[in-house]
Amino acid sequence: MQFTSDNNLALEFAVHIANTNRRGIEQLQTPDQLDRTLDEYGFTGRRDHTQSELQEVKKWRDQLRALWLFDEDELTDALNRILAHHHATPQLLEHDGYSWHFHATPLDAPLVDRLAVEAAMALADVVRAGETERLGVCQAEDCDNILFDFTKNRSRRFCATGGCANRAHVAAFRARRG
């Protein structure tokens, strides 16, 4: 599986990996760290475990983050470019115990192609659904993590990592107390 049947998981994973180099801490320093991140989300398929693979993934990560800051027209242009650039080719696959499902790239395509296409397909679904307002940036003063707002009433303001909601709450409490 590469989440093709689960768009929300693909979006969660995109947000997670996009935020792996924030607040001055690089969490993808080694191929092993990348492995653990992929395993955590059950991302299958080819992995080369090389420095060059890691560098490609990190380069893509920065482009992924940039998508969050685009308006809808810029985002759709970028998604179309990404799908073409990374050779997206929809096909039905059966593997690792999963019955027939869609993949937009072959399992033996380079990791960065599969990551980029998976994220782009998930974001394309967000565009199709008219939900691009759900792409956001954490509003904590000291954090610029990206987030995807899954809440019903689009009320999410803080990222899931780093305890931002809690810090903001404490700061507001202190400010009220004067």
Tokens linked to 1 = 């599986």
Q: Give the footprint of Zn ion on residues 114-143 (CB under 5 A).
A: 138, 140, 143
* Cβ closest to Zn ion, residue 88 vs residue 159: 159
Coil, helix or strand at residue 101:
strand
CA dist., res. 153 & res. 43, Å (int)? 30
* Cβ closest to Zn ion, residue 120 vs residue 140: 140
* Cβ closest to Zn ion, residue 78 vs residue 107: 107
Smallest gap from residue 3 Cβ to Zn ion (A): 8
Residue window 152-171: x/- pattern of binding to Zn ion, with contact defined by CB under 5 A: -------x----x-------
- 17: alpha, beta or left, given left = phi > 0 and alpha = psi -120 to 50? alpha
* Cβ closest to Zn ion, residue 1 vs residue 78: 1
Neighbours of 167 (CB within 10 A): 15
Q: By CB under 5 A, name the one of 28, 145, 146, 148 that touches Zn ion.
A: 145
Size of the site for Zn ion (CB under 5 A): 8
Q: How far is CA 55 from CA 49, 143, 176, 178, in A?
A: 11, 24, 46, 47
Smallest gap from residue 174 Cβ to Zn ion (A): 18
Tokens linked to 148 = 């995807």
**Footprint of Zn ion (CB under 5 A):** 1-2, 138, 140, 143, 145, 159, 164
